[in-house]
Structure 1
Amino acid sequence: MGAAYFYHLTRRPLQETLPVLLQKARGAGWRIAVRGQQSDRMSWLDDTLWQGSADSFLAHGLAGGPHDALQPILLTTTTESANAPDCLMTVDGAAVTPEEVQALERVCILFDGTDPDAVQQARGQWKNLTGAGCSAQYWSEESGRWEKKAEA
């Protein structure tokens, strides 16, 4: 049974935080699905990841290609992940179910702490997931480094 990790982004934007988390997940040997809500936003993330530094290359693909099942990291807007992920990372308030949390090694929910709607959405997800019996951790970078602030 997995756990949901909530990442409250307050100091660094998504495009800086996501590659770090993806590197850690790949270091654990996991295949990852990154789920968003809008195709254009996922295309932007795709471009952003390809432009990363050479020492932190992240092989990945945008869902809808001929080799989705082979991708170690697949960017998608759907709940179907062709790459059979061990870890799901959601951005921009993409939905997560308690069943997904329980079936995967880890679910990471990244949300923009400067956006009140995103914070409210994450609070609702926390309540929904923990209310369904899922393990969850809340991580904040408010102090300048990531610190676990809550656990359920």
Structure 2
Amino acid sequence: MAEVLFYHLTESRLEEALPDLLEKSLARGWRVVVQAVTPERRDALDHHLWTFREESFLPHGTDADSSGALQPILLTIDPAQAGNDPQVRFMVEGAVPASLEPYVRGVYLFDGHDTEQLAGARARWTSEKAAGHAVTYWQQSEDRRWVKKA
């Protein structure tokens, strides 16, 4: 069973929080797939990961790139895509995976100011818990630190 983490964004946007979480995954030696809902969102994240910090970038590709599967981070809109042999799957803005069975960790990031994303995260919590996954809920504090709530 996968460890499933829910990250409730209340103080920052996805573009601010995601790179730090991806860096931590890579530091553990994990390969990652990030699942978005639309090609436009995938492509915006693709651009952002190249430019989010002047002194560094996150090595990645997309499922639209011929070399995307070779990258440590693969951005996709496909709920079953795992072409880069990842250990971790991130789901952003309401994305739902085909399954979290093959992963060490699944991570849902959702905007706390978006009622649809909140409802979707609640539904996924129930579903992932019923599937037998170990679920954990993290919320941002006012200083943007992650606080474990459940």
Q: Work out whether the TM-score is over 0.5.
A: yes
The answer (yes or no) to whether the contact 1:33–1:87 under 8 Å persists in 2 is yes
1:80 equivalenced with 2:81 (yes/no)? yes
Shift of 1:103: 2.1
The answer (yes or no) to whether the contact 1:5–1:138 under 8 Å persists in 2 is yes
TM-score by length of 2: 0.93
Amino acid aligned to 1:87: V
Shift of 1:64: 2.0
**2:95 — aligned with what?**
94
**In proportion to residue count, which structure has more helix?**
1
Shift of 1:143: 4.0
**1:129 — aligned with what?**
128
1:47 equivalenced with 2:47 (yes/no)? yes
Q: Deviations over 1:123-146 (max 9, x none)?
A: 000001101111100000034321
Residues 24-39 of structure 1 correspond to what in structure 2 (within 5 A)?
Answer: 24-39=24-39
CA separation of 1:142 and 1:116: change in aligned 2, threshold 3 A: farther
For the aligned residues, what is the CA RMSD? Answer: 1.2
Amino acid aligned to 2:15: Q
The answer (yes or no) to whether the contact 2:110–2:118 under 8 Å persists in 1 is yes
Cα distance in structure 1, aligned partners of 2:3 and 2:55 = 29
Shift of 1:107: 0.6
Amino acid aligned to 1:126: W
Q: Deviations over 1:75-118 (max 9, x none)?
A: 00002221111100010111135x41x32111110000011111
Shift of 1:56: 3.6
The answer (yes or no) to whether the contact 1:23–1:56 under 8 Å persists in 2 is no
1:118 equivalenced with 2:107 (yes/no)? no
- Name structure 1 gaps, 5 residues minimum: none
Secondary structure of the 2:55 match is: helix
Runs in 1 of length 4+ with deviation above 4 angstroms? none
Amino acid aligned to 1:132: A
